[in-house]
DNA sequence: ACCTGAACACCGTTCAAGT
DNA sequence: ACCTGAACACCGTTCAAGT
């Protein structure tokens, strides 16, 4: 995380002759792998991400990433973990800023989740896949849990206030999450009309609270 | 589709000597590729499916599939299309068998969808991914549309009867599908307790109709 | 401590050639 | 018409060796 080293010089700046050699110590490789890895992820999905291509883009040998990430999955897991930290920060913030009603808070969470998904679709897909791996690393599970702490609290507090139907709050939260997960999957695969996604999400928040029976 | 040829002899039955050669014409290759392809799909997902491995398992050269499927995606698309045909048949059937109420019909559809997902998790994931491809083949899109005709009709008829909230029926159906898609994604990745999935789905059907506000 | 280069065992795809 | 075998350009992973 420390960025006290001189900003990593791009290989291009060194090529003033055929004999120019790259500096032996790259210095910042781990951060650069994460940055370039996320770029590659968004451009072609987790399956399409090539570790060798990421290494080439940074200008190190294809074996260099191994010092920092044991294999491709380790890089993906690290990207997912960082993603959960950012998503969690977003969700915490919008709950703080939203009004006191559960409906409002859930709608704000829905907007923030969909907004994150729109900005980083492949990352969010990876995050879901990574955390549901049978052998997901504990740090990843913890980051995911922290990210969803705010939504879970919104549900529990809504129940305490009588805004939300009674029942084990984790089960109610899982239902709400299923709806969000489905909406985001549809939005990111073009199943929702792009120009009306916001309106659709707001309508969905109402359906989530009010249900599909007539009112 | 015609199976008038002698049932494809497994290579094993021919190996009574070192000089045994496989029959030149396999005869049934397309069907076998689909069958073995689906087996491989369920054992390792679409990304993990290897065309060469499928060919090896059947006993043909790695280039043989090309006569029947131009590339790996073409095989996956064919598997997805067949999957939609089967799913559609299931959904049609349960709607016929269910009572007249929209709640009952939607719950029956939910159970059938989740049941299909449980039996063929990787196939259902592929089906969703395949049909949302930008360049999905028309037959695949048509098969998907036919599969969801019954749920769409249930929504529209429910609205006509006053069982379901008013609004453009495709938009309401998309919301219901989002919930189902999310529930299935969670069930198939272990996010729902395996022993209580059925109860969870039934509860979810009620939430879908009644919403999360207290009643 | 950090990275390189060669090597291994895989891929998907292409194509001339065989029957 | 249907399939084979060699070839090409990729992968991820491993490991001895270099600085």
Tens digits of pLDDT across chain B (215 residues):
222 223 333 333 333 323 334 555 577 999 999 999 999 999 999 999 999 999 999 999 999 999 999 999 999 999 999 999 999 999 999 999 998 899 999 999 999 999 999 999 999 999 999 999 999 999 999 999 999 999 999 999 999 999 999 999 999 999 999 999 999 999 999 999 888 899 999 999 999 999 999 98
Residue B56 lies in a domain: yes
Residue of B85, B207, B106 lying closest to B153 (CA atoms)? B106
Contact B68, B29 (CB under 8 A): yes
Average pLDDT over residues A43-61: 97
User: A23 and A33 share a domain?
Assistant: yes
pLDDT in tens, A72-120: 999 999 999 999 999 999 999 999 999 889 999 999 999 999 999 999 9
Residue of A179, A37, A140, A149 lying closest to A88 (CA atoms)? A149
- Domain stops at, among B69, B86, B110: B69
Contact B34, B51 (CB under 8 A): no
User: A53 and A38 share a domain?
Assistant: yes
- Domain stops at, among B22, B43, B69: B69
Cβ of A145 under 8 Å from any chain B Cβ?
no
Residue B6 lies in a domain: no
Interface of A with B in 79-118 (CB under 8 A): 103, 106
Return mean pLDDT, chain A.
89
Residue-number span of the structural domain to which B100 is assigned: 71-212
Euclidean distance between CA atoms B2 and B112, whole angstroms: 30
User: B56 and B31 share a domain?
Assistant: yes
Q: Give the up-direction half-sphere exposure of residue B10: CA atoms within 13 A in the CB hemisphere.
A: 3
Provide the pLDDT for residue B91: 98
How far, in Å, is the CA of A72 from the C1' of nucleotide D16?
Answer: 22
Q: Quick check: B185 and A183 CB within 8 A?
A: no
User: B95 and B27 share a domain?
Assistant: no
Residue B192 sits in a domain whose CATH number is 1.10.357.10
User: B134 and B167 share a domain?
Assistant: yes
User: B49 and B101 share a domain?
Assistant: no
Cβ of B148 under 8 Å from any chain A Cβ?
no
Q: Which of B167, B172, B179 sits opposite A182 (nearest CB)?
A: B179
User: A135 and A86 share a domain?
Assistant: yes
Whole-model pTM over 0.85: yes
How far, rounded to the nearest angstrom, does the alpha carbon of residue B121 sit from its chain's CA centroid? 8
Nucleotides on chain D that have an atom closer than 7 A to a protein CB are 2-7, 10-16, 18-19
pLDDT in tens, A194-206: 888 999 999 999 9
Helix intervals (H) in A1-120: 29-48, 51-58, 72-97, 102-119
How far, in Å, is the CA of A200 from the C1' of nucleotide C13?
Answer: 42
Euclidean distance between CA atoms B78 and B87, whole angstroms: 14
Residue A149 lies in a domain: yes
A195 min Cα distance to partner chain B (Å) = 14
- Domain stops at, among B69, B87, B110: B69
Count of structural domains, chain B = 2
Contact A172, A155 (CB under 8 A): yes
Residue A8 has pLDDT above 90, yes or no: no
User: B208 and B147 share a domain?
Assistant: yes
Residue A187 lies in a domain: yes
| Chain B residues close to A172, C-beta within 8 Å | 207, 212
User: B45 and B101 share a domain?
Assistant: no
pLDDT in tens, A134-178: 999 999 999 999 999 999 999 999 999 999 999 999 999 999 999
User: A165 and A62 share a domain?
Assistant: no
Residue A8 lies in a domain: no
How far, in Å, is the CA of A76 from the C1' of nucleotide D16?
Answer: 28
Q: Quick check: B212 and A165 CB within 8 A?
A: yes
Which tokens in the block code for residue B204? 């979810």
How far, in Å, is the CA of B94 from the C1' of nucleotide D10?
Answer: 47
For B180-208, the DSSP string reads HHHHHHHHHTT-S-GGGHHHHHHHHHHHH
Confidence band, pLDDT 50/70/90 cuts, at residue A193: confident
Provide the pLDDT for residue A25: 59
Q: Which residues contact B92 (CB under 8 A, 6 or more apart)?
A: B150
Residue B149 lies in a domain: yes
Cβ of B196 under 8 Å from any chain A Cβ?
no
| Chain A residues close to B213, C-beta within 8 Å | 103, 163-165, 209-211
Residue B3 lies in a domain: no
Provide the pLDDT for residue B99: 87
Residue A50 sits in a domain whose CATH number is 1.10.10
SS3 A214: coil
Q: How many CB atoms lie within 10 A of CB B2?
A: 5
User: A60 and A47 share a domain?
Assistant: yes
User: B41 and B83 share a domain?
Assistant: no
Residue B2 lies in a domain: no
């Amino acid at each position: 995380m420390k960025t006290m080293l001189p900003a990593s010089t791009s290989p291009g700046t060194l090529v003033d002759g055929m004999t120019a050699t790259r500096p032996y110590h790259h210095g910042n490789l781990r951060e650069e792998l994460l940055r370039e890895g996320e770029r590659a992820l968004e451009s072609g999905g987790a399956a399409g991400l090539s570790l060798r291509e990421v290494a080439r883009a940074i200008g190190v040998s294809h074996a260099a990433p191994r010092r920092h990430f044991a294999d491709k999955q380790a890089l993906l897991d690290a990207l997912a973990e960082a993603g959960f930290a950012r998503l969690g920060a977003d969700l915490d913030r919008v709950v703080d800023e939203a009004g006191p009603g559960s409906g409002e808070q859930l709608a704000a969470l829905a907007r923030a989740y969909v907004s994150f998904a729109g900005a980083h679709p492949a990352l969010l897909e990876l995050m879901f896949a990574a955390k549901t791996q049978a052998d997901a690393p504990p740090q990843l599970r913890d980051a995911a849990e922290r990210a969803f702490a705010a939504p879970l609290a919104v549900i529990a507090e809504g129940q305490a206030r009588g805004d939300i139907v009674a029942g084990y709050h984790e089960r109610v939260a899982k239902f709400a999450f299923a709806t969000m997960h489905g909406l985001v999957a549809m939005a990111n695969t073009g199943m929702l009309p792009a120009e009306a996604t916001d309106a659709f999400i707001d309508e969905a928040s109402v359906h989530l609270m009010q249900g599909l029976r007539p009112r």
